[in-house]
Amino acid sequence: MKDRVLVFDIWSDFAHFRRFETTTSPLTYPFPTGTVITGLLAAIIGFPRDSYYSLFSRDNVEFSVRILNPIKKIVIPINIVKTDETKSYSYENLKIQHFNLTVKALTPYELVKEPKYRIYVRFKNPALRRLYEKLKQLLKNHQTVYTPYLGITEMIANFEFIGDFQVIAIQIKDETKDLHSVARIDAIKIIPEEGKRYGRETVPLYMDSDRKVLEYCNVVYEVNGKPIKIRSDTIYEVGDEYVSFL
C-alpha cells in the first residue's frame, strides 16, 4: 500500500471554499485546499467532526488537485439564517423569520460556478492500510457515510472513482513536462506559454485538533485547467498524468 494514490473526480453546480482572510463578504479559493480535502474524505469515511486531523497529517497523507473545468466565479447574495440558537422552527416562526430576512441586508457570497476537480490522495504510511482500503471501497461503490459537498453544505457534490495507482517519482531537471495538477511554487519552475492564464494562491494544508492551521503553501495553477509546462527536481507519475503533491 505504501505510496499508493487513490484518484477520484468530484463536481457540483457551485462551490465555496472560504478564504481565511475574509469575513462579512466571503470570497472563495478556486479549488479545494488541503483542509477542505481532509474534511471531504472524513465525510466519505464517516469520521466525527474534528476527530481526524492527526490521522490526515503530512506524515501519513498528501494531496493534489487537478482543475477539470475552467474556473468561473460569480457573486450571489444569500440570506444567512442562524441555526445554532435554540429556537422553535414552527411554521409561524419561520414566517416571522422570512419577514425579517426580507428587510435584512443579504450577504454576497463569491462562488465557483460548475466546478469539477480531480483529487489525488497519496498514502505514505503503511499503518493506514485499513483506512486506505475502506476509502477505496467506498469510492468504488459510490458510497459515503455523510453527504459530500464542496466547501459548504448547500453545495452537495457528486463523485466518480478513477483508480488506484502506484505513484512513481520522476526527475526532470534537464527537460520539461506538462504538469496536470496545481503545484507548490517552491517545487517547480514554470515555463510560461502563450494562451495560458496562471493564478497564484496561498492555501491552508493541514490543521490540528483545535482547528489551527499548521501549514500553508503558495500554489500556482492554470485558470482553465490546462497543463502547466514545468521543470522540477521531482514530480510524480500517477497513471498517465503528472502531478505535484502539495
Helical pair 129-140 and 34-45, crossing angle rounded to 10 deg: 80
> For residue 193, what is its C-alpha cell?
506559454
Taken in order of first residue, the domains within the chain and their CATH numbers are 4-76+108-243 (3.30.70.2660)
Helix (H, G, I), strand (E, B) or coil at 59: coil
The pLDDT of residue 212: 87
Helix (H, G, I), strand (E, B) or coil at 108: strand
Query: Could you tell me which of 235, 229, 207, 178 has the C-alpha nearest to residue 64?
Result: 235
Could you read off the pLDDT tens digit of each residue along the chain, which spans 246 residues? 668 899 999 999 999 999 977 766 789 999 999 999 999 999 999 998 888 888 999 999 999 999 999 999 999 988 776 665 555 555 556 555 555 555 567 888 999 999 999 999 999 888 899 999 999 999 999 999 999 999 998 899 999 999 999 999 988 877 899 999 999 999 899 999 999 999 999 999 998 888 888 899 999 999 999 999 998 888 999 999 999 999
The pLDDT of residue 174: 76
Written in H, E and C, the secondary structure of 62-103 is EEEEEECCCCEEEEEEECCCCCCCCCCCCHHHHHHHHHHHHC
> For residue 159, what is its C-alpha cell?
463523485
Q: How far is CA 5 from CA 9, 64, 142, 154, in A?
A: 13, 10, 18, 29
Query: Could you tell me which of 210, 206, 173 has the C-alpha nearest to residue 34?
Result: 206
The pLDDT of residue 142: 97
Q: Which amino acid, residue 165? A: F
The pLDDT of residue 88: 53
> For residue 128, what is its C-alpha cell?
493506514
